[in-house]
A and B are shown apart, each in its own frame.
Chain A
Amino acid sequence: MSEHGHGADVENTIWMRAALFGTIFMVIGVLAYGVMGVGVANAKHQAYDDAHHEYDKAKEDLKVAVSNGATQDEIAHLEELEEEAHHHYVEAHLSYLTWRTAGVTILLMCVVYALFIGFGGFMNSIQPSGDHGDDHGHGDEYGHEHHGSSSPIVFALGIMLFLMGFPMFVDAAKAMLMTDAGGSIGDMGLSLLGLIIVAIGVANWWREDLPFIGHGEQIATSHPFEGQHIRKAGLWVFLMSEVMVFATFFSSYLRMRTEWCTYWQVQDGNPNCSAVDTLTASDFLRPNGGQMVLEDGTIIGGQGDFMTLLPGAINTFALIISSYTIVLALKTAKAHHWEAPKGFMGKIMPTQKIAIRNYLIATFILGSLFIVLKLIEWSHLVAEGFDIGTQAGSIFYIATGAHGLHVFIGLLVMLYMIFKADTVGFDEENGQGIEYFGLYWHFVDLAWVAIFPAFYLY
């Protein structure tokens, strides 16, 4: 295959490369699951069981001491021991959840990555060789007309069907999890059909874009984007529709938040709030968060410290660093005269093509880290009593989940970009692909700039 992968000779290379990528992901996923999700998690579960036993024993000792009329000092000492045992019990539980969730999440992500890359590679390899020329939907240097692409409309149809069936999909998913919700697996049909159509749309888009080496980029010929790349203009319009999506979350959150008596409202002396009636995610995550007493006397919230906020903080840094690494990928692709860096960086980035690929891989790893840490954090929040069954939980999980979904979709697209960087390659001519994807990725970072303080810190 040539450096730029001109059309007709890509089929077998693509399929073999896709199979290799898929195998690597499956190995990583299984290893991570085995080590973290089973090995370490089982050891942590043993520690959790021991801590549970110690806590039960401490509670029993206190109960016996009170019923036997022990002195105040003895009871105070036993209460201290019970508090300490409870603390160890919670810590052990969260530690177990951390490893278990990390292992399962990495496995599931790697399975999706492998399926995505395998399906896309397969769809590419079965195309007749005539379809792999430069007339793949972007026009070419021989003056062929642009044929347009059916992928967006196919993709949109799939999304529409998926969303139409989504309420039934949720009911069916809840039924499968053996909750009290009604619904059967057949209710997933419409959404699954939508997902299959989405997959076909994505694979078709991949087939069209992979051989694209920069010739025949469509240029807008009318106002207001005259002279601009149509793909870039379209992406900006798409991003602005995404702004509206996130604005709905923020306006809903603001509406709810102004109605709640949160810890900060009470602390601020709001005359309508005599006591805390709602805990937000930040009350569980940040230091000095609010507490609330439930009907059964259990106190929840207010346990936040450095460690509880750490995943969110790391994620913030991860997204910012990933924004920079994708800028570096683009900068490398667009460089007129690229020179390999010296020292260690020169060893891992010996050529321009490998440097672009490795910057994209760094971005990909940081994005994947974001998803893993987010799910670990969610598992901790649910274990501490902050679930989706409340208004505060509902808006938190929907808003941060929608953002996480955007990150994950971005990771799938990035996986394709890595694949293209590894096979066809990016250069000055077709580097705008990285630029346009970078715009999306920066937008995801921008959304997090608003979500992180609003939901995690405030």
Chain B
Amino acid sequence: MGDHKLIMGKDIYFWNFVVLMIFTIFEVGAVYIELDLMIVWSILIGVGIVKGYGIAAYFMHLRGDPIIYLRTALFPVLFVLLMLWGIGLSNPGAVTGLPEWCTPNWDYAGKR
């Protein structure tokens, strides 16, 4: 901490903060301006990746910390991808077909 070189007199944390703020303006602006669905979608995903990288790499210090922390951070990625694919994008009826014990007294469970 604190041993980063300065860019225009400010450290990397400051510039990371500035980039995050600017990209958030892009993100919100893309929704305020009437754009094509795919363009909005692309902007949201692109901005999300940049912001995620900025926070994880610089604020959470994965860039600069020993590699074991990066490995730890990447460990659940496989499981997350499996969940997004296995639950999120397949298995029809996964939501409405929940057994009754999963939804005690919640009569709205099957309702839209």
A residues adjacent to B (C-beta < 8 A): 167, 171, 181-182, 224-225, 228, 232-233, 236-237, 239-241, 243-244, 247-248, 250-256, 258-260, 264, 267-268, 277-278, 286-288, 306, 309, 313, 316-317, 320-321, 323-324, 327-328, 330-331, 334-336, 388-392, 394, 435, 438-439, 442-443, 445-446, 449-450, 452-453, 457-458
Q: Verify B60–A306 contact, CB threshold 8 A.
A: no
CB distance from B56 to the nearest CB of A (A): 6
Q: A167-B104, A264-B37 are in contact. Are A244 and B48 (CB under 8 A)?
A: no
B residues adjacent to A (C-beta < 8 A): 1-2, 11, 13-14, 17, 20-21, 24, 27-28, 30-32, 34, 37, 40-41, 44-45, 47-48, 51-52, 55-56, 59-60, 66, 68-69, 71-73, 75-76, 79-80, 83-84, 86-89, 91, 94-95, 104-105, 108, 111-112
Q: Verify B48–A453 contact, CB threshold 8 A.
A: yes
Q: Verify A323–B55 contact, CB threshold 8 A.
A: yes
Please provide the 8 A-B residue pairs with the shortest distance between their CB atoms, ordered closest to farther. A254-B88, A251-B87, A251-B88, A453-B44, A324-B17, A251-B83, A247-B80, A389-B108
A–B Cβ pairs within 8 angstroms, 15 of them = A167-B104, A237-B72, A239-B73, A244-B79, A251-B87, A252-B88, A254-B84, A255-B88, A268-B37, A278-B112, A286-B31, A323-B59, A389-B108, A438-B59, A446-B55
Task: Select from chain B the residue with minimum beta-carbon distance to A327.
Answer: B13
Q: Verify A457–B31 contact, CB threshold 8 A.
A: yes
Provide the residues of chain B in CB contact with A446, threshold 8 Å: 52, 55-56, 60
Task: Select from chain A the residue with minimum beta-carbon distance to B52.
Answer: A449
Provide the residues of chain B in CB contact with A278, threshold 8 Å: 112
Q: Verify B31–A309 contact, CB threshold 8 A.
A: yes
Which one of A232, A287, A320, A457 lies within 8 Å of B21 (CB-CB)?
A320
Task: Select from chain A the residue with minimum beta-carbon distance to B41.
Answer: A458
Q: Bound state CA distance, A241 and B44, in angstroms?
A: 25
CB distance from B107 to the nearest CB of A (A): 9
Q: A247-B84, A453-B44, A458-B41 are in contact. Are A236 and B32 (CB under 8 A)?
A: no
Q: Bound state CA distance, A243 and B68, in angstroms?
A: 17
Q: Bound state CA distance, A232 and B83, in angstroms?
A: 27
Provide the residues of chain A in CB contact with B2, threshold 8 Å: 331, 334-336
Name the prevailing secondary structure of the A interface residues.
helix
Which one of A167, A236, A320 lies within 8 Å of B69 (CB-CB)?
A236
Q: Verify B44–A458 contact, CB threshold 8 A.
A: yes
Which one of A243, A330, A442, A449 lies within 8 Å of B80 (CB-CB)?
A243
Provide the residues of chain B in CB contact with A335, threshold 8 Å: 2
Provide the residues of chain A in CB contact with B112, threshold 8 Å: 260, 277-278, 390-392
CB distance from A202 to the nearest CB of B (A): 24
Q: Verify A288–B34 contact, CB threshold 8 A.
A: yes
Q: Verify A248–B83 contact, CB threshold 8 A.
A: yes
Q: A390-B111, A457-B31 are in contact. Are A255 and B89 (CB under 8 A)?
A: yes
Q: A225-B68, A278-B112, A317-B24 are in contact. Are A457 and B79 (CB under 8 A)?
A: no
Provide the residues of chain B in CB contact with A182, threshold 8 Å: 105
Provide the residues of chain A in CB contact with B83, threshold 8 Å: 244, 247-248, 250-251
Task: Select from chain A the residue with minimum beta-carbon distance to B18.
Answer: A324
Provide the residues of chain A in CB contact with B76, threshold 8 Å: 240-241, 243-244, 247
CB distance from B63 to the nearest CB of A (A): 13
Task: Select from chain B the residue with minimum beta-carbon distance to A248.
Answer: B83
Q: Verify B88–A258 contact, CB threshold 8 A.
A: yes
Q: A240-B75, A247-B80, A254-B88 are in contact. Are A334 and B34 (CB under 8 A)?
A: no
CB distance from B41 to the nearest CB of A (A): 7
Task: Select from chain A the residue with minimum beta-carbon distance to B44.
Answer: A453
Which one of A171, A334, A389 lies within 8 Å of B111 (CB-CB)?
A389
Given contacts A252-B95, A330-B1, 7 further A-B contacts (CB under 8 A): A239-B73, A316-B24, A327-B13, A389-B108, A394-B108, A458-B41, A458-B44
